[in-house]
Copies of this chain bind each other. A is one copy, B any other.
Amino acid sequence: MTRKDFPSLRLSDIAAAAGVGESTVSRVLRNSGSVSEETRARVRQVVAALGYVPNRIAGTLAAAGSRVVGIVVPSLTNIVFPDLLRGAAGQLDLMGYQAVIGVSDYDGAREAELVASMLAWRPAAVMITGLEHERATPDRLRSSGARVVEMLDVDGEGLDIVVGYSNRAAAEASARHLIGRGYRRIGYVGHEISRDTRAGKRLAGFEAELARHGLALVARELHAGPSSIGAGRDGLERLLARAPALDAVYFSNDDMAIGGYFHCVARGIAIPERLALFGFNGLDVARLAPQPLATILTPRVEIGREAARLALADEPAATVDLGFILIEGATA
């Protein structure tokens, strides 16, 4: 079968077949204006019989306002972002909008490009993650007329709507928890904090809280790449080789922490007696491990949902902090 010149049906075909005007068909399809029950039924029947699918490209152009929302996430490898997407897509769907996605690989330039190409679709809103963006991005967004939602971080200035939690506060809470349990020789295993700015903020918050208690990180191990279970596993191994006397380790997130946990189990390192572990995100895998990981549960799906809702609501700019929950677990 060839792929060209498809004789696609148009509104006027339906109008002709139903013996009504185009406007009437349009009204029926959009459930707007008043149309008699009889006419409505007839048009519906013709639409179904011919299998007509309205062309939303044309509709959008004419109506000057698209039912599309662009979403740019830094990664799809960490389940955090699919969770966010899930919340957003579900809510958008409910409101009759469609999600267009882009993956930036934690690259600001890539994000800028993706935002630009999404704006070409004149989306009703653009949803991005974090508050730090390349120079051009805010300007482009502002002059587009689209609502903008920044997700997952409330530590800083937003462009329009911000929905997330405080990475700083979460890290501080983590530090206080470890200190409260008596841990003093604390290390850190993380990934590229220059690209993942939220992880960077957590590290900064964690260190600041340690400092307030007269402590400092004993050692740190940074993986040059995105977070992963493997990176956490290897990272902890290297960290312990350099600083064997640690009594606790703070990880940049749960992926890393689960890797660390696996390393300890494999090596027979007693948790939490010999070494305590603390993560971030509250992933299923962390919460259901034989020893539930001490971590911070973030309301990712809710953030996506609320972000989508606010993006399409006609409300003023605002910052919404959805908070987090510290899960004590059994590893710290």
Chain A interface residues (CB < 8 Å from chain B)? 1, 3, 6, 8, 51, 53-58, 60-61, 66, 68, 76-77, 79, 81-83, 85-86, 89-90, 93, 98-103, 116-122, 139-140, 143-145, 147, 228-230, 233, 258-259, 262, 265-266, 284-285, 288-290, 314, 317
Contact = CB atoms under 8 A, between A and B. Distances in A.
A229 to B, nearest CB: 5
A285 B66 CA distance: 40
B82 A145 contact: no
Considering the complex of A and B, which 4 residue pairs feature the smallest CB-CB distances, nearest first?
Answer: A6-B145, A56-B120, A266-B290, A76-B82
Given A61-B58, A145-B3, A259-B288, A103 B117 contact: no
B77 A86 contact: yes
B51 A3 contact: no
Contacts of A262: 288-290
Q: How many copies does the complex hold?
A: 2
A121 B233 contact: no
18 contacts: A1-B317, A8-B122, A8-B145, A53-B119, A54-B120, A55-B61, A57-B57, A57-B60, A57-B122, A90-B103, A98-B121, A228-B284, A229-B284, A230-B284, A259-B288, A265-B265, A265-B290, A266-B290
A147 B4 CA distance: 11
A121 B284 contact: no
Contacts of A258: 285
B89 A82 contact: no
Contacts of A139: 51
A115 B37 CA distance: 28
Given A3-B145, A82-B82, A53 B101 contact: no
B290 A55 contact: no
Nearest to A267: B290
Contacts of A6: 144-145
A83 B258 CA distance: 20
Contact of A82 (B54, B77, B314): B77
A60 B77 CA distance: 32
A53 B120 contact: yes
A321 B132 CA distance: 42
